[in-house]
Amino acid sequence: MSIPQQGGGPIEDFAQLAEYLAAGEKPKDEWRIGTEHEKFGYCKDGLKPLPYDGPRSIRAMLEGLAEVFDWEPVREDGHIIGLVRNGANVSLEPGGQLELSGAPLENLHQTCQEVNEHLTEVHRIADRIGARFIGLGAAPEWAQDEMPMMPKGRYRLMTSYMDKVGTMGKTMMYRTCTVQVNLDFASEADMVQKMRVALALQPVATALFANSPFLDGKPNGMKSWRSHIWQNLDASRTGMLPFFFEDGMSYERYVDYVLDVPMYFVYRDGKYIDALGQSFRDFLKGELPALPGEKPTLSDWADHLTTVFPEARVKKYIEMRGADGGPWRRLCALPALWVGLMYDQSALDAAWDLVKGWDEDTREGLRRVAAKEALQGEVNGLKMHDLAREVVAISKSGLAARGIAGAGGLIPDETYFLNALEESIDTGMVPADKLLEKYHGHWQGDLSRIYGEYSY
């Protein structure tokens, strides 16, 4: 989850809220790729989550990365809670999940190099303290009360609020991991087209990257439990945003949606002030109960934008949020899928042609079968496996059209990074299917085998 935002000064006019989003517009030659991924840390000997404090801990990981690899620490109330370096940052999810938010990079070869470098650094420090990290969409065995809470004021507030909305908020916060990619847009119309495609096809990403079939030490009946969780918490700030497919969609319409999402907090002088359930509209009028008489800044607006969690999200860029965290190769495959669909106009148009006839029930139905059945799902005659095959083919055409070589020309273009997804298309098996096959096969129900076989 996000660190405090730096959006700017006082909001003097309602139009500034939409202008803040529009300020993200960039010409195509300035479009970049920002990949984020989360992973669970655990103690090698006991296979339990890393605590925040102690010689073998999240704090020790962050301090080790800062000491050995020249990351600059980020602190809150004296606690190290993140790292920054060269446009990238390492941050903490509520239960200690370690997240890399990568720098904005020009191509997928650079993106995958960044991921590889980060995981190599993490492995080196983890090895030094007797820890390991694993990429899964949900914690396979650890109970909710086994998960530590990171020392961040934002998370304390959110934890107390989650029991009041939906049924799975704390499970989402403490026991799930994702991989996502952040992409640019050129104009309002470009943003709208990309968001429509992103929302409609997010279930395909969920299916292809499904990697959370276990919870509390046993199969949970889903292939992406993480996606199932997001379908069952705080409907005011999650979901498929059907209004995006209505005529007249604009920055202002998205602003209206975000303004109607209840607030979590206001960040002032290094502290998170409780504004749970309060209205940003009241804040604009100087009537926020948490800060009577005070009006918001653009930094407050930037913070509030990070507290909405739809399947795809707009800030000064677009975030693709539908995929489970997973194996090393798929951390490069997720940005490859979306870059291929979004950064070549012919591919984007083809993707829109594929989805533009779907209604709201179809899009929501695909979201739900993706979580439960992955590539075996079907809605209104649409078979997810066939749909995924077509989507990956469109993405591949978009990457080929970009024609960006890597490895000194040894890799002719970026289509290389779709190999893991093409394997899933060929076999019909996503990571969750392989995990379940092993669990019911040679693991003989011993889920502890997952750590030795799937850690980074």
pLDDT digits (tens, 9 = 90+) for 65-110: 999 999 999 999 999 999 999 999 999 999 999 999 999 999 999 9
Is the residue at 43 inside a domain? Answer: yes
Percentage of residues of the chain with pLDDT beyond 90: 93
Provide the pLDDT for residue 7. Answer: 63
List strand residue ranges (DSSP E) for 78-118, in order: 79-85, 88-92, 98-101
Question: Taking the CA atoms of the chain, what radius of gyration do you get in angstroms?
Answer: 21
What's 26's domain CATH number? 3.30.590.20
Average pLDDT value over all residues in the chain: 96
The domain tally of the chain equals 1
Is the residue at 10 inside a domain? Answer: no
Is the residue at 163 inside a domain? Answer: yes
Question: Quick check: 6 pLDDT over 80?
Answer: no
Single out the residue of 162, 112, 152, 158 nearest to residue 418, CA to CA.
Answer: 112
CA distance linking residue 205 with residue 198, whole number of Å: 10
Is the residue at 307 inside a domain? Answer: yes
Is the residue at 1 inside a domain? Answer: no
Residues 386-398, mean pLDDT to the nearest whole number = 98
CA distance linking residue 37 with residue 211, whole number of Å: 14
Segments forming the whole domain that contains residue 237: 15-454
Is the residue at 225 inside a domain? Answer: yes
Burial 403-424 (b: 16+ CB within 10 A, else e): ebebeeeeeebbbbbbebbeeb
Quick one: which H or E segment has residue 170? Answer: helix 169-175
Is the residue at 3 inside a domain? Answer: no
Provide the pLDDT for residue 387. Answer: 98
Provide the pLDDT for residue 5. Answer: 62
CA distance linking residue 121 with residue 133, whole number of Å: 12
Question: Quick check: 111 pLDDT over 80?
Answer: yes
pLDDT tens per residue, range 133-183: 999 999 999 999 999 999 998 898 888 888 788 778 899 999 999 999 999
* Main-chain phi, psi angles of 422, to 5 degrees: -65, -35
Residue 24 · residue 190 · CB < 8 Å: no
- Counting Cβ atoms within 10 Å, is residue 184 exposed (0-12), middle (13-18) or buried (19+)? buried
Question: Quick check: 235 pLDDT over 60?
Answer: yes
| Half-sphere exposure (Cβ direction) of 223: Cα atoms closer than 13 Å | 29
